[in-house]
């Protein structure tokens, strides 16, 4: 910790002042080692550090999930920011690789709380526990490690173009080679370098303005915390390079007469190659909040520089049920006074509701499959590959010791392997899903007039769930099809309701009892299916309790 040279009080970094401020006498200092001395346990001794690429700090480890946090503040031992457990963290003194620079906090804890409360206030079905002051007070300012890539493009670029035109019965293809000079510099293409920070969350609060970066100094950590880096620089390098190439190619095509000669951004992207590229590690500010609910945890993160917020918002079953009942009453009155509901129309309405629930369940199940298999998190995929490689090498060594014949695996450095993406093949579930969507869409057209209000309410309700902008992926994640068992398991209830309704409509029995019986069966299945929608949404907006392996920086 840092002590005030005037009164000996606790000095913290103030985001509004961008200076160090004493919490007791309000003295203000510049965040530089020359103005403040870091005190050891013996108040009379000043710690003097040698110039090195490492710095000494306290590392607190959660005994439940293994998450690590850097801090010189004793309050770090009260609870874990990653799994939300109220526990005593185990501390140790360690030397951590010093980052190249840091972006200081500019948003205060109060600013983060206001942004969080704006989202929660709009989320009518959010659990009441997420709105309590005791929960909001658990916001913690953490400096998250980021890999920051810089690229430079200087030189000649040759872009191919093609213009087709018809003359009589012939089509002529005119090919062009357009040559030009391209000078571009890209600084600050960043990706989070910690497995404890999901790519979906870090991407949701991006970007950061690297123009405000400062040389790293421990003084910026006063009053805040830090996370350690365990993702190698190579993981995101190819993705960052492709982002730069795509942007440069797009800007190049928009300038000059490239389009006149049939040049496309795709062709230009193949011709644009960065001449220089470099990577550095930086600490970026994030306000972090973990809401634990049993064996699941949801997160809220706020960009400590811009105030951009992303929140996982589950649904309260009680509030959802009350909302459904309130919505059902006016719909019932409208239908009762202004429409005549025949048995056939009643079955048709339930079939439409079944279609809607089937679509929602299918979409949510796909998102859950991607989230829980870390297909939207390149860092976790890299760690899983390294862990699999270690396990295979261990099996090889054990087999060698026992005289077995297991194919050897080269002891390669997985950290130096760049992430590659392989396009998956279309599975049976994908084909069945496409056919089902087409058929269900045809049925939906005939009943759209009856369920306009319900669809609008559903869109409003889904708007309070985690939106695509809050879960956008910062890397080109693979898009595999959901396994057939999981896909079918998510939609069999509404599909069964649709089948029952279609059988009755095609059979067209004389007695209304068949219609009412089928309607009751369909509505029970639809109600069960919408319960599944809420269950799957809550599963998607909460995550399993993290279990971090031994942490370490880029080697």
| Backbone dihedral angles phi then psi of residue 184, each to the nearest 5 degrees | -145, 145
Q: What is the pLDDT along the chain (555 residues), one digit of tens a residue?
A: 677 877 877 788 888 888 888 888 888 888 765 555 544 443 333 333 444 577 788 888 888 888 888 887 666 567 788 888 777 777 788 888 889 999 999 999 999 999 999 999 888 899 988 888 777 888 999 999 999 999 999 988 888 889 998 988 899 999 989 888 889 999 999 999 998 899 999 999 999 999 899 998 888 888 899 888 888 998 999 999 999 999 999 888 888 778 888 888 888 888 888 888 888 999 999 999 988 887 889 999 999 999 999 999 999 989 988 988 888 888 778 877 776 777 788 888 888 889 999 999 999 999 999 988 888 888 888 888 888 888 888 888 888 777 655 455 554 444 444 544 433 334 444 444 444 444 444 344 333 333 333 433 343 333 333 333 333 333 344 456 778 888 888 889 999 988 988 888 888 888 888 888 888 898 899 989 999 999 999 999 998 888 775 444 443
Closest among 190, 156, 149 to 276, alpha carbons compared: 149
CA pair distance 201, 377, nearest whole angstrom:
10
How many C-beta atoms lie closer than 10 Å to residue 58's C-beta? 17
As given in the structure block, the two tokens for residue 243 are: 């982002």
532 phi and psi angles, rounded to 5 deg: -65, -35
- Cis before 207 (ω within 30): yes
**pLDDT at residue 408 in the model:** 52
**Nearest Cα residue to 147 out of 195, 201, 183:** 195
Separation in Å, CA 414 to CA 419, 486, 527, 552, 554: 10, 32, 49, 14, 11
Q: Is-contact 314 537, C-beta < 8 A?
A: yes
Q: Starting from the edge strand earliest in sequence, which strands make up the sheet with 28-29, in order?
A: 2-3, 10-14, 19-22, 28-29
Instruction: Quote the CA–CA distance of 236 and 284 in Å, as a whole number.
Output: 17
Residues whose CB is less than 8 angstroms from the CB of residue 251 and which lie 6 or more positions away in sequence, other chains included: 184
What is the Rg, in whole angstroms, of the alpha carbon atoms belonging to the chain?
29
Report yes or no: 196 and 546 within 8 Å, Cβ to Cβ.
yes
In angstroms, the CA 445 to CA 177 distance is 50
Half-sphere exposure (Cβ direction) of 397: Cα atoms closer than 13 Å: 8
């Amino acid at each position: 910790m840092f002590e005030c040279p005037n009164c000996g009080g606790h000095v913290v970094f103030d985001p509004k002042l961008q200076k160090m401020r004493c919490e007791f006498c309000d003295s203000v200092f510049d965040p530089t080692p020359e103005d403040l001395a870091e005190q050891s346990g013996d108040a009379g001794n000043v710690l003097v550090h040698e110039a090195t690429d490492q710095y000494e700090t306290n590392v607190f480890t959660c005994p439940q999930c293994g998450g690590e946090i850097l801090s010189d503040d004793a309050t770090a031992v009260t609870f874990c920011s990653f799994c939300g457990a109220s526990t005593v963290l185990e501390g140790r003194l360690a030397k951590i690789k010093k980052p190249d620079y840091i972006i200081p906090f500019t948003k205060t804890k109060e600013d983060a709380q206001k942004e969080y409360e704006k989202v929660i206030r709009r989320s009518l079905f959010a659990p009441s526990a997420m709105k309590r002051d005791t929960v909001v007070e658990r916001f913690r300012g953490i400096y998250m490690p980021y890999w920051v890539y810089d690229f430079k493009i200087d030189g000649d670029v040759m872009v191919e173009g093609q213009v087709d035109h018809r003359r009589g019965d012939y089509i002529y293809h005119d090919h062009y080679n357009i040559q030009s000079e391209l000078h571009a510099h890209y600084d600050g293409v960043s990706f989070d370098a910690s497995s404890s920070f999901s790519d979906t969350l870090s991407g949701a609060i991006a970007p950061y303005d690297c123009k405000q970066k400062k040389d790293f100094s421990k003084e910026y950590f006063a009053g805040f915390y830090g996370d350690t880096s365990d993702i190698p620089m190579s993981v995101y390098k190819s993705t960052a390079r492709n982002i730069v190439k795509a942007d440069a190619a797009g800007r190049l095509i928009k300038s000059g007469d490239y389009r006149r000669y049939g040049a496309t951004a795709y062709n230009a992207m193949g011709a644009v190659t960065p001449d220089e590229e470099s990577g550095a590690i930086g600490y970026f500010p994030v306000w972090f909040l973990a809401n634990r609910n049993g064996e699941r945890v949801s997160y809220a993160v706020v960009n400590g520089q811009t105030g951009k917020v992303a929140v996982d918002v589950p649904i309260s079953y009680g509030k959802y049920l009350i909302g459904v009942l309130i919505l059902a009453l006016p719909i019932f009155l409208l239908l009762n006074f202004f429409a005549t509901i025949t048995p056939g129309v009643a079955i048709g309405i339930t079939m439409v509701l079944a279609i809607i629930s089937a679509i929602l369940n299918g979409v949510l199940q796909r998102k859950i499959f991607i989230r829980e298999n870390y297909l939207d998190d390149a860092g976790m995929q890299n760690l899983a590959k390294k862990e699999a490689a270690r396990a295979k090498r261990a099996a090889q060594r054990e087999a060698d010791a026992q005289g077995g014949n297991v194919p050897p695996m080269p002891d390669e450095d997985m950290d130096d392997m760049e992430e590659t993406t392989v396009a998956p093949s279309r599975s049976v579930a994908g084909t069945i899903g496409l056919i089902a969507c087409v058929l269900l869409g045809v049925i939906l057209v005939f009943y759209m007039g009856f369920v306009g209000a319900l669809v609008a309410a559903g869109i409003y309700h889904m708007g309070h769930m985690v939106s695509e902008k809050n879960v956008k992926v910062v890397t080109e994640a693979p898009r595999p099809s959901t396994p057939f068992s999981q896909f079918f398991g998510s939609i069999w209830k509404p599909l069964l309701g649709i089948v029952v309704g279609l059988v009755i409509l095609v059979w067209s029995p004389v007695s209304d009892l068949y219609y009412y019986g089928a309607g009751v069966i369909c509505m029970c299945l639809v109600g069960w299916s919408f319960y599944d929608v809420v269950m799957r949404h809550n599963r998607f907006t909460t995550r399993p309790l993290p279990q971090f392996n031994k942490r370490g920086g880029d080697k």
